[in-house]
Structure 1
Amino acid sequence: MTIRNLDVLFRPQRVLWLGEPLNDGQRIVLEKVRASGVTMSEALEVADFVLPLVPSSERTLGVILQERHANAATVERLGELGCRALVWPLHEPPSRAVLEAARAYTLRILGPRSVGLSHSSGFDASILPQKTASGSQALIVQSQTVAAAAVDWAAGRRIGFSWVAVTGGESDIDVADLLDYAALDDSTRSVAVEVGLIRGARKFMSAARACARAKPTVILQTRLADRAAAGADPVRSAAFARAGLVEVPSLPGLFDALAALQRLPALSQPRVLVVANGAALCALTVDAVIRNGLLIVEWADALQRQVTARLPTARFRPGAVDIGDPSVEDGVAVLQLLLAAAAADVLIYVRSPVAGHPHEPVARSLAKANLGPRLLTVWLGLESALPSRRLSAEAGQSTFTSPDAAARAVRYRWEYTRNRELLTQTPPRIRPSKLDPAKVTQRLLEYLGAGTDTRPDAALELLRAYGIDSQSRIKPGSLILQLSLERHPELGMHLGLRVEGRGIANAMAYGFVPLDALLADRLLASAGLEAGPTLDRRDVDAAKAALIALSQIAMNQPHVEGVSLRLVVHEGRARAAADARLLLTPGPAPERERLALAPYPAALSQRVRLRDRKEHELRPVRPEDEPSVIELLQSLDSETVRLRFFAHIRHFSHAMAARMTQIDYDRELALVAHAVDAPEALRAIGTLIADPDGAAAEFALLVRQDCGRLGLGRALLGALIEHARRRGIGRVWGIVLAENTAMLELARAMGFHRFLDPDDATCRRVELVLGAAQTPVSEPGLPAFVP
């Protein structure tokens, strides 16, 4: 995964096109590029490029227009000339030779079948029908038709983009790369994505998680008719939810989400108040609010009296007020009053056209009143409503065609906040298993060798090894769960769950490994299985334990391609029915293809003996370590806190600790250190966070003040460096306060070189080039090396 040279794609200083335009689309692209104001050069023949050798500091983008230039020799020549990005609109994808030639220069290719891109800086190299206005939202799509519709819709709603990119066939640059770019892009505050095909589950999920943690991100999935049945793929939907993305079900839903992300404020609660000019509209809008899982506001007597004092004819109902057809001044005044009262997080104003009282005067007055982002307008109708929608959009108001669309937009904005909260909850500790996975693997290989791997006893033996016993008879009143562990063609191993009996809806739910207790609870709840009057908590806990066991099978038994069983739950015990089935493969896929999420890297755990002669364990952090991490942070004296976090922090929040413990092991590593005989009393923590390129990683260390000079910091930093070296990371660096002499001395002793920090004179940058003996070359903008 890499975002290298994507800046060249979006903000080039020079554009080189190869060949003459052959159709209207290509002519449009060149006209737009010319209008962007960048330097343009034409290269008609591979052997005699017009473009001279350009400085490496100049960002050069190439555009291939004709098939005769679509070869490795052309791409190699482009690389030699300093070109670092290439738009490939051709239908045929680049050959392997072309991709290898591009890779040698880290020359990025957008396409094939890409209709291009545009950026808020003014650069446009696309055949999209509308010029995109400048905004703070990134639009990433694979389909050119979806891109065209979205951009056109946004233009009509006066919604702008920080940038738009159409990835097409994704021979090189894919949705995951652009999600990474969006997460780090200062001009982007929110992201909308359309994806029809996921290439590389681990890469996609890692990028999606990183982007969704940083910015509201919504996604629309499309499915090709020749690849799968119509409708959303529920396994994909489960993956999106696990990553923290907000999924929209349709193209109109994507449009609603664009408006929600661009203009609605962050919502910690979805409290909605409805104002309309009719009782029926109030009822319809309140129904839409409730249908979307939002909360209606209950009227306070004092607020009703204030409204009635201004508008005596107002009629109230739960969550809504029918204001009839007042004067424009009175209507605007009531909306101002309700917004000022702060009784609701969002106010939806719905108006139907009235004879003699058109929408426009009201829309114009609301636009002038500048009532803020909490007001959503719905101008019903078509011909009479279009001018008012335009007025609202030009005033920066969120405006919609129907109450349902407005309620959906609020739900999307709120779901993002709710998803982040759910994904950062702290799971309870899971008791470590004493199982030896290698022994189980050996037994499975014996079944494969004997050709008996599909027999029920093979499945039951595997399940028993992971703590799921079996039984031949199903007792009356038992709860039956249909469980499956299987491999999705794009996203790898996942769990399926359907509940039978007890009057529970027969809904299929899906989840991804690894599972902890909280994630297993949510999977059961999504299938309709929650503790309550008709269901014993012990039964839920037993089912949860079985799900976690299946998750463990998926993670450490690569030869398992599938497991299916009926789980019989009765009186707090869960057993597999005798008809369980197992599917094994002698040649398992690589872990990155099998598991969309990186599993816990238990192999990185190690024991060291420090100067106090105590044996300590260094192990990767787990989400359930959050209480211990907070206890460690709270135990620090103020000076230790300042040296580590560059500020005085009195309180360490759940959100901060969750960010330190709930990490993506594919990109990050956090090692905690504790005495072997006191596993919950953490004494130190070290982190290593790789950039999306995997070329460099930033480290940080924190050692409890009473544990200094024991060699704990050196042991942690050494382990982080070794991990970086195994991962092929080229540089490890960190920012240290100049007065933190202990950390600077440790870095010097371990081979780091020191630089001034150009952004802060009170700090130093320490850097270690792995596998090289020479002093690292300072990055552009960094002052000289400091001895």
Structure 2
Amino acid sequence: MTVRNLDALLRPSSVAVIGASDRIGSVGGTVWRNLRAGGFQGPVLAVNPHHAVLDGQPVVPNIGALLVVPDLAVLCTPPETLPPLVAELGARGTRAAIVMTAGLDAMRKQALLDAARPHLLRVLGPNCLGLLTPAIGLNASFAHADALPGDIAFVSQSGALVTAVLDWARSRRLGFSHLVSLGEHADVDFGDLLDYLASDPQTRSILLYIESIESPRKFMSAARAAARNKPVVVVKAGRAGNGIHAAASHTGALAGSDVVFDAAIRRAGMLRVDTLQELFTAAETLARFRGGHDGTLTIVTNGGGAGVMAADAASLAGIPLRELGPELLSRLDAGLPATWSHANPIDIIGDAPVHRYTDTLRALLADRDTGAVLFLHAPTAIVRSDDIARACAPIVRPDADRVMACWLGDAAVTDARRIFEEAGVADYATPEEAVHAFASVVTYRRNQALLTEAPTASENGPPAVDVARTVIARALDAGREMLDESEAKAVLVAYGIPVVKTLAVDASADAAEDAARTLGYPVALKIRSRDISHKSDVGGVALDLCDGAAVRDATDSMLSRIRGSRPQARIDGFTVQAMGKRPLAQELIVGASIDPLFGPVILFGQGGTAVEVLADRAVALPPLNRVLAHEAIGRTRVAKLLAGYRDHPPAKLDAIADVLVAVSQMLADLPQIAELDINPLWADADGVLTLDARLRVSRKQCAGAQRFAIAPYPAELAETVAWRGRELLLRPIRPEDEARHRAFFEQVEPRDLRLRFFSSRRELPRSELARLVQIDYAREMAFIALLAPARGGAPETVGVVRVVCDPDNVEAELAILVRSDLKHQGLGHLLLDKAIRHLRGHGTQRVVADVLHENAAMRELARSHGFTAEPGQDSTASMRLVRELAADRGAPITVHP
């Protein structure tokens, strides 16, 4: 379950406290007093067999005696009482419960959930502090203080942090829409609350304190949906990570590490910060500040020292300062003394009168190229800070979302700080805090951009999946988990990844020499052993062997070394490979491993034998496309080398990205993959080349699309159908379809667009178009109909059907659009049938479509497919078409020929 009945939890109309008490210091007594004192307007009921009256209000002995069925029940009773109480509450019609009780063992916790499930009763906790919804006066918690109403939602896995945040926020007059303590989150979890809060009109930003996540795909789907609507900021405990272990590959050592969680947060379009202070600073900044889209900063200050501090902080955070253009410099020269800094930071000198501040701010805000403006002021005896603030406030108010302020000091700038805050300007205590907040905004926008980027197509051809599966199956049938180098490279070749020519031979000098002669000198010789993963660590690699004698000497000395240092290692033979000659190539590593929580993850970074020492790496969650692959590459230090320097031309970045995309596809297709290292992967202006590869497999089905934290592209849903004597491809939409989808909309008449979107429009904004092609396949689906033109050329989109499921997968909303010149030719029937078949297979119970009354074609199409009509939200203009799918779950699925 996800959002179902969460309204009864977070916005109940009545509340009962089971175990209410008058005992000071008890949980039941504290919750009762908090509910009574919070101003909640609905009935507040008490249940306790040992009391008749509490605070002048009658107390009933049991749930059956309640005269009102409460929306929400707060349980403060011993563990053994909880399952029967929940079952009784559910039977009476209560739809949500907060379980404060701690100490439930696994058996009792499961009994609690089993009691709630038949009634769809939602459980918060157990072992939680409770929750607060200040706007309705709801304080269903045992916190020591109430919360102020506001528009920030805070969800915490720690009850102690909720109380600490309450103290901190009240001192700063910071308000909340909701505060929720999850406790052990046996039922209601982060994913559920993200889904609810994403569409909650009273919540403008969402803050999370996370210690653990149990349902990664559910969490990622909810997080990505919420992050598209409003800022989501996360503090994650446990940065050190306790899941790191020895592994057969460099990448395998990342399993369970904190960098994987970082990758998940980034991929979801959220922002991660390190402390609770930063959590709320980031929330305030994202809510108020809209400037700095180019990631640069302009600093204006009345003190050189403050400006230097801000500039230093910007340099450390990787934030460039904006260069001042000639027109702006000229305008500033006209209003500033000759001794001003003539650069960014703009130092207007400590003796600045009021007009110098106002003139400078007018010049900066009139020039859109200045982007974000950081206003720094240190108090002086020459001009009162509040006088400066009053004069500047009317100037900054229209552009408050481009300005950040830092009034240095305390009492002397209190009024000035208040005046700027009332003008809508985000305020910070120090220059460093302001710059750090700006850097968070830049990071957040970068993460958000990944949700709307349109990738280009990879040059990888269709993989030879059967070849790769055969190689892996042979190794597993032989009882081996480590593939030898030639086998690992065969899998890479099957996925279009270039490898150096390699031959596998037995452990004899004659065989090695024959292979070297076949490949041509010079060659590299490597030991082949299922017990040795890192060959260079044991002297198992010899390079630049130029003739047969060198090969024979290398085989003898290598065998002698290894038998002396690793006598238990089984020697399977050698691999002989041609020595590549690419002197300007960079050594990279591309890898994959299985995280215990998020499943398959991909690593990219600087490679070679010192990969752990360099620790230059970026981690990404699959599935990947070129845009996401390039983003991962760009997060490493080696990216600067790949861009070219001195006599090194830029490397072919698309070729590197295509390797990452290929590894992503491998992880989806080959569930036996446990660990992969491609190291080194050479990259230069001519492309990439794999020199060495390690691949560990397992019968345990470690990888595979089902283990992805983000549902990959479901290629298996594509099908070809016959339409009017031609073949039509029906397949799920993908991000690469953006340009084709724009061309499709351009061929739809304005009237048809109005019937589809309920509003007149000539074109779709880029942001909306990106959202239509970048979908979460776990919760929504869009099938496009592709038709090849009669005279050849690229296929064109001629129709699309879209279904968006609610988080509970109970109901899906449907919409269809067909190219205007192809209407009334059966396309709509094909698309609707495809959507219904998909939803039935997905387990969705009902499909609905909101349709304007005048849309006769859609009404008739739906009627012919078993839909019935109901009144719409605006019954005068629209209707709702509904088809129940649960009733025909066993009906045969029609597959078009």
Q: State TM-score, norm by structure 2.
A: 0.79
Distance 2:177 2:258 in 1: 29
CA 147–591 in structure 1, closer or farther in 2 if over 3 Å, else same: farther
Q: Residue 103 of structure 2 corresponds to which residue in structure 1? A: 92
**What displacement does 1:728 show?**
1.2
**What displacement does 1:64 show?**
1.4
Distance 1:211 1:186 in 2: 12
**What displacement does 1:333 show?**
3.6
CA 65–338 in structure 1, closer or farther in 2 if over 3 Å, else same: farther
State whether structure 2 residue 513 is matched by structure 1 residue 513.
Answer: no
State whether structure 2 residue 700 is matched by structure 1 residue 587.
Answer: yes
CA contact (8 A) 1:605 1:619 kept: yes
Please tell me the residue identity of whatever aligns with 1:690. C
Describe how 1:457-476 pairs up with structure 2 within 5 A.
457-468=486-497, 469-470=499-500, 471=502, 472=577, 474-475=579-580
CA contact (8 A) 1:671 1:685 kept: yes
Q: Residue 782 of structure 1 corresponds to which residue in structure 2? A: none
**What displacement does 1:265 show?**
3.1
Distance 1:73 1:592 in 2: 40
Distance 1:646 1:216 in 2: 28
Distance 1:349 1:618 in 2: 55
**What displacement does 1:20 show?**
3.8
**What displacement does 1:340 show?**
5.0
Q: Kindly provide the CA deviation profile for residues 660-709 of structure 1, in whole angstroms up to 9, marking residues without a partner as x.
A: 11111111111011226765311111111111111111111011122223
Q: Kindly provide the CA deviation profile for residues 438-487 of structure 1, in whole angstroms up to 9, marking residues without a partner as x.
A: 55335423321220231314423322322233443554534322222101
Q: Residue 755 of structure 2 corresponds to which residue in structure 1? A: 643
Between the two proteins, the alignment pairs up a number of residues equal to 769
CA contact (8 A) 1:730 1:769 kept: yes
Please tell me the residue identity of whatever aligns with 2:34. K
CA 279–224 in structure 1, closer or farther in 2 if over 3 Å, else same: closer
Match of 1:541 among 646, 651, 654: 654
Match of 1:430 among 447, 452, 458: 458
Q: Which moved more, 1:349-358 or 1:505-514?
A: 349-358
Query: What secondary structure is seen at the aligned counterpart in 2 of 1:265?
Result: coil
Distance 1:237 1:733 in 2: 38
**What displacement does 1:17 show?**
1.1
Distance 1:544 1:279 in 2: 45
Distance 2:240 2:159 in 1: 17
Q: Residue 565 of structure 1 corresponds to which residue in structure 2? A: 678
Query: What secondary structure is seen at the aligned counterpart in 2 of 1:155?
Result: helix
**What displacement does 1:71 show?**
2.6
CA contact (8 A) 2:71 2:95 kept: yes
Match of 2:605 among 498, 521, 538: 498
CA 364–69 in structure 1, closer or farther in 2 if over 3 Å, else same: farther
Match of 2:32 among 30, 34, 44: 30
Distance 2:441 2:257 in 1: 21
State whether structure 2 residue 48 is matched by structure 1 residue 44.
Answer: yes
Match of 1:379 among 403, 407, 412: 407
Q: Residue 779 of structure 1 corresponds to which residue in structure 2? A: none
Describe how 1:518-667 pairs up with structure 2 within 5 A.
518-527=627-636, 528-529=638-639, 530-533=642-645, 536=649, 539-569=652-682, 572-578=686-692, 580-588=693-701, 594-610=707-723, 612-667=724-779
State whether structure 2 residue 143 is matched by structure 1 residue 132.
Answer: no
Q: Residue 71 of structure 1 corresponds to which residue in structure 2? A: 82
Query: What secondary structure is seen at the aligned counterpart in 2 of 1:520?
Result: helix
Distance 2:441 2:202 in 1: 19
Q: Which moved more, 1:630-639 or 1:232-241?
A: 232-241
**What displacement does 1:298 show?**
4.1
Match of 1:675 among 767, 777, 787: 787
CA contact (8 A) 2:336 2:348 kept: yes
Distance 1:275 1:26 in 2: 55
Q: Kindly provide the CA deviation profile for residues 611-647 of structure 1, in whole angstroms up to 9, marking residues without a partner as x.
A: x111211001111111111111101122222222222
Quote the sequence identity (%): 31
Distance 1:237 1:185 in 2: 26
Q: Residue 711 of structure 1 corresponds to which residue in structure 2? A: 826
Match of 1:412 among 424, 427, 440: 440
CA 53–577 in structure 1, closer or farther in 2 if over 3 Å, else same: farther
**What displacement does 1:431 show?**
5.3
Distance 2:65 2:330 in 1: 74
CA contact (8 A) 1:500 1:506 kept: no
Q: Residue 479 of structure 1 corresponds to which residue in structure 2? A: 586
CA 635–24 in structure 1, closer or farther in 2 if over 3 Å, else same: same
CA 71–480 in structure 1, closer or farther in 2 if over 3 Å, else same: same
User: Which 5+ residue runs of structure 2 have no aligned equivalent?
Assistant: 50-59, 245-253, 503-576, 890-897
Distance 1:80 1:332 in 2: 68
Q: Residue 280 of structure 1 corresponds to which residue in structure 2? A: 305
CA contact (8 A) 1:158 1:394 kept: no
CA contact (8 A) 1:350 1:377 kept: yes
Q: Residue 745 of structure 1 corresponds to which residue in structure 2? A: 860
CA contact (8 A) 1:347 1:376 kept: yes
CA contact (8 A) 2:8 2:96 kept: yes
Distance 2:209 2:328 in 1: 43
Q: Which moved more, 1:280-289 or 1:439-448?
A: 439-448
Distance 1:491 1:627 in 2: 32
Q: Which moved more, 1:740-749 or 1:190-199?
A: 190-199
Describe how 1:177-576 pairs up with structure 2 within 5 A.
177-223=192-238, 227=242, 233-265=258-290, 267-299=292-324, 312=337, 315-325=340-350, 329-330=354-355, 333-334=358-359, 337-338=362-363, 340-343=365-368, 344-354=370-380, 371=397, 372-381=400-409, 397-430=425-458, 433-438=461-466, 440-456=468-484, 457-468=486-497, 469-470=499-500, 471=502, 472=577, 474-475=579-580, 477=583, 478-500=585-607, 507-527=616-636, 528-529=638-639, 530-533=642-645, 536=649, 539-569=652-682, 572-576=686-690
Q: Kindly provide the CA deviation profile for residues 231-272 of structure 1, in whole angstroms up to 9, marking residues without a partner as x.
A: 981111112111111222333322320221232236534453
CA 208–226 in structure 1, closer or farther in 2 if over 3 Å, else same: closer
**What displacement does 1:396 show?**
5.2
Query: What secondary structure is seen at the aligned counterpart in 2 of 1:350?
Result: strand
CA 190–592 in structure 1, closer or farther in 2 if over 3 Å, else same: farther
**What displacement does 1:590 show?**
8.4
Please tell me the residue identity of whatever aligns with 1:210. A
CA 269–582 in structure 1, closer or farther in 2 if over 3 Å, else same: closer
Query: What secondary structure is seen at the aligned counterpart in 1 of 2:433?
Result: helix
Q: Residue 111 of structure 1 corresponds to which residue in structure 2? A: 125
Q: Kindly provide the CA deviation profile for residues 257-308 of structure 1, in whole angstroms up to 9, marking residues without a partner as x.
A: 0221232236534453323231111222233234434453444666567667
Match of 1:759 among 861, 874, 878: 874
CA contact (8 A) 1:256 1:408 kept: no
Distance 1:339 1:356 in 2: 24
Q: Kindly provide the CA deviation profile for residues 552-589 of structure 1, in whole angstroms up to 9, marking residues without a partner as x.
A: 110111111111231432663534334x3222222325
CA contact (8 A) 2:720 2:730 kept: yes
Q: Which moved more, 1:704-713 or 1:616-625?
A: 704-713
Q: Residue 155 of structure 1 corresponds to which residue in structure 2? A: 170
Distance 2:63 2:758 in 1: 52
Distance 1:151 1:370 in 2: 31
Query: What secondary structure is seen at the aligned counterpart in 1 of 2:456?
Result: coil
**What displacement does 1:752 show?**
0.4
Please tell me the residue identity of whatever aligns with 1:466. Y
Distance 1:244 1:72 in 2: 39
Query: What secondary structure is seen at the aligned counterpart in 2 of 1:109?
Result: strand
CA contact (8 A) 2:811 2:844 kept: yes
**What displacement does 1:772 show?**
2.7
**What displacement does 1:596 show?**
0.8
Distance 1:347 1:51 in 2: 63
CA contact (8 A) 2:351 2:382 kept: no
Query: What secondary structure is seen at the aligned counterpart in 2 of 1:633?
Result: helix
